[in-house]
Amino acid sequence: MCGIAGTYRWPDGKAVTDRLTDILAHRGPDGAGRYSHPAGDGEVHLGHRRLAIIDLSGTGAQPMVSGGLALTYNGELYNAPELRAELAAAGVRFRGTSDTEVLLEAWRRWGTDCLPRLRGMFAFAVFDERTGDLVLARDQLGIKPLFLLRRGAGLVFASELKALAAVSGGSLQVDHGALVASLLYYWVPDSRCAFREAEKLPPGSWLKCRADGRVERGRFWNLKDVAAEARERAQSGEQPDVAAVVEESTRRHMLSDVPVAAFLSGGLDSSYLTALAARHQPGISAYTIGFRAEDARFEAMPDDLRYARQVAGRFGVDLHEIEIAPNVLDLLPRMTYHLDEPIGDPAAINTFLICSAAREAGVKVMLSGMGADELFAGYRKHLANLLALRYQRVPRPLRRGLSAAVDRLPVATARRGYRSVRFAKRFLSFADLPEETAFRRSYTMYDQDELLALVDPDLAGTVDDVLTEHADVYQDNDLDDFVNRMCLGDARMFLPGLNLAYTDRSSMAASTEVRVPYVDVEVVRAAFAVPGDRKIVGRQGKAVLKEAAASVLPREIVYRPKGLFSAPLRAWMSRDLAPLVREVVHDGVLVRSGFLRRDALARMVAEDAAGQRDFSKHLWHVLTLEYWYRDATSGSGQSTRLTA
């Protein structure tokens, strides 16, 4: 796991690449490398920061140059042993044991045809000295990031957006369309980028820059097609063995020359992975989080620590517990910097603190249960949208009466919050809506009118564009299964846009690699071969995964209420963060620039303080957006004029 950067036919490319690489030092503290070569009428420069995981010797150093090819690569290939054997049988002689060398030789033999054969997480750039071509590629599911910026025939790329922003001399303009999208979702979709000009290479795709100035793009893996093919196999009678697929993926994700540890929240996903990993690495370390008792009580949070301790004791896991208290909110500016784009999920802080503690203990690699909820329908929104179909059959007068009664209920008093009321209000906000709109409202922050009231009136067209984009992505499939349509929407938007993004940035900020065994091409194929009525059974989400886990874990863990990898936001907002919220609402840069409207923010604060509505998540995201916007527009001479 590493940081990669480079330039292609870019002015002052060597100095730019050096600076890009230095900015990414936290991603790879174990080594640094540079490579330069003529390319057409210019030069190519590749940079690399190394976090040594496999082949710790110098033969794994990068950029790796061999036989006219140069590679800078970020990731891990979990099928590297099989690819190595196949290439060796064809006569390839390897100098070391790194998967980097396997990737380079696979590229030499198969070119872009090697890409669908790769099983792992990756983003890389490979340069061919003979043709002068540079190719960028990103893994199938968007686990690893790759940002790029093109100007004329030139290109600059890096693992993190902050690096591109730093070398642009303040010339990158904020894309207010991306910020509108971030308000809706509390993250920036993978299809958008917070700065104009810059872009993210899409998952499962490649981009080739030719020496003559031409640029080609290609796609080697499409999640929509994979889901459709899996569904067809299932309809023909093929049924995946989910337990076998998950165990095999977990075993592959243990491939490492350094110790591997695990996240252990006490929930199903992390507990299952930790139990499977303990089979292959007895005594494996695991890390979990807890909160101040008063915060957990106010938030009515489940006691996840109890379950984490139970799993650890049963499987001989060395458990490390970390308490998150409000003083960690000093991390907010630092986390905003590392997250690259405005991401309003406090789970990013949890990830950073866990990875920091693991790193201090000498751990470089962590396993995460990320992805199981998206692929196997484990979120409350999945069940809620199914229940909404039944709710719509209730006579309309009864629905109106119920909605009016729930609307009058408080979500909190001065001493505690009421989660059941929050859930009820959330459910009724979308239960009467059509499928795509209901699904969007079940997990986004605002409806259309609320979003229009919050942002500058000149951005009304941008709001329409953002909502249309969600509809286009959600409806772009031929699946006849409502549950799997939701899972596909999550796997294409929610997973790469939020969960994988904050996991990568937060873990790499602590120089730690996080692996996600559920976010694996074979697990994905198996997941979409499972019909929706086996994913949600009665009121049980992830039913098929629970069946698989029940052969390993105690039923108390498998069928416990869903845990939360989050933070007690209502407690923090009503106490520790209240002064900061007031400052941002009344005199923040977002308000002064005109992007956000002070009156709408003030109403949110008043309703939240009165306990009538729960806007804690919304206001937390406004804080993250404020900090990001300050950094993006300060000291660069950049105009804050609204442009979408």
Could you list the active site residues? 2
**Is 259 within 8 Å of 363 (Cβ atoms)?**
yes
Query: CA 370: distance to chain centroid?
Result: 9
Six token digits for residue 387: 């229940």
H or E segment to which residue 121 belongs: strand 120-128
Q: In what order do the strands lie in the sheet with 199-200?
A: 31-39, 42-50, 2-8, 154-158, 147-151, 199-200
Q: What is the biggest distance separating any 2 CA atoms in the chain, rounded to whole angstroms?
A: 75
The Cβ of residue 326 has, within 10 Å, a number of other Cβ atoms equal to: 16
The response to whether 99 counts as a known ligand-binding position is yes
Six token digits for residue 367: 């396993």
The response to whether 368 counts as a known ligand-binding position is yes
H or E segment to which residue 643 belongs: none
CA gap 181, 466 in Å, rounded? 6
Query: CA 611: distance to chain centroid?
Result: 31
Contacts of 244 (CB under 8 A, 6+ apart): none
CA gap 203, 587 in Å, rounded? 39
CA gap 6, 28 in Å, rounded? 15
Six token digits for residue 110: 């198969």
- Please, which contacts does 143-147 make with residues 24 or more away whose CB atoms are closer than 8 Å? 143/75, 143/496, 143/500, 143/504, 143/516, 143/519, 144/74, 144/75, 144/504, 145/200, 145/501, 145/504, 145/505, 146/4, 146/200, 146/201, 147/193, 147/198, 147/199, 147/200, 147/201, 147/340
How many Cα atoms within 13 Å fall on the side-chain side of residue 342? 31
Contacts of 599 (CB under 8 A, 6+ apart): none
Cα distance between the two ends of the chain: 35
Six token digits for residue 78: 């979990």
Which residues carry a binding-site annotation for L-glutamine? 99
Which residues carry a binding-site annotation? 99, 289, 368-369
Which residues carry a binding-site annotation for ATP? 289, 368-369
